[in-house]
Amino acid sequence: MDEKKLPLTAHLQELRSRLIASFIAIGIGFIVCYTFSQTLFDILAKPLFKLLPQGGSLIFTSVAEAFFTYMKVAFIGGLILASPFVLYQIWAFVAPGLYRHEKRYVLPLLFGGSFFFLLGILFGYFIALPVGFKFLLGYAADLIKPMPSMKEYLSFSVKFLLAFGLVFEFPVVLVMLARIGIIDAKMMARQRKYAILLIFIFAALITPPDLISQLIMAFPLIGLYELSILLAKIFGKNTKSGTKIDSQEGPQTD
């Protein structure tokens, strides 16, 4: 009975050590980023600063708001800085229990997901945020001046960029569905017109009500859909050659 409990105890001890290592890495990343938190916030706020009227600036409406805003910036930066190490810890813990063919899915998913997530954030920062701010600040008038607070701007911009990062995971999700056989490239090509219609509806819902903003959002998504069709052709499930040998292999144990 002790022999059966020992592996579980060993796994829990390994999980504990990897969690501790991950938290330490995040803590170190937090300390490093807190040193540059004001610079990081200035970089994040640059799309807004470029569009504010002359003399405009961000404000804080409570005594501790600036301090806690910089703390949040440092924490987010620490997470990003430590994410490669944390992902490695997750992989090192999970990998021994995966089948060989499952490992071939996980690594491309991890790298592909990270790449498209970063691409979405960059698109949101350099293109979508300026377009959105230009529209929203257009409601300012002679007697109405934009004076957003630091806390509100940080919350809005982080959620906005996170949303774009998730939207750009679109090809990864479709390719994985194609890989496991739920959809295929031919099906996606046949449904292209409906997908484009849904993309324009989605773009109209989340962008300002002007044609330029909607096109800026819709065209990249259409491009991602076309890329998904191409990737599904390359990496989609091959029905002619199964994976019986791999599926019969058990998870690797150390």
Inside any domain, residue 242: no
With respect to residue 99, please indicate whether it lies within any of the assigned structural domains. Answer: yes
Higher-pLDDT residue of 238 and 224 is 224
Distance, CA of 23 to CA of 55 (rounded, Å): 41
| Residue 165, token pair as written in the block | 């990062």
The predicted pLDDT at position 68 comes to: 97
Question: Is residue 43 included in any domain, yes or no?
Answer: yes
Residues 6+ apart with CB under 8 A from 115: none
pLDDT digits (tens, 9 = 90+) for 4-48: 445 788 889 999 999 999 999 999 999 999 999 999 999 999 999
Mean pLDDT of all residues belonging to the chain: 86
pLDDT recorded at residue 141: 76
pLDDT band at residue 225 under the 50/70/90 scheme? very high
> Considering the domain boundaries, does residue 15 fall inside one?
yes
113 is a domain residue = yes
DSSP symbols for 72-133: HHHHHHHHHHHHHHHHHHHHHHHGGGS-HHHHHHHHHHHHHHHHHHHHHHHHIIIIIHHHHH
Q: Is residue 204 part of a domain?
A: yes
Judge whether residue 226 has pLDDT over 90: yes
Is residue 249 in some structural domain?
no
Domain membership of residue 99 as a residue range? 8-235
pLDDT value for 115: 94
Rounded to a whole number of angstroms, the CA Rg of the chain reads 23
The domain tally of the chain equals 1
Has residue 1 been placed in a domain? no
pTM of the model: 0.82
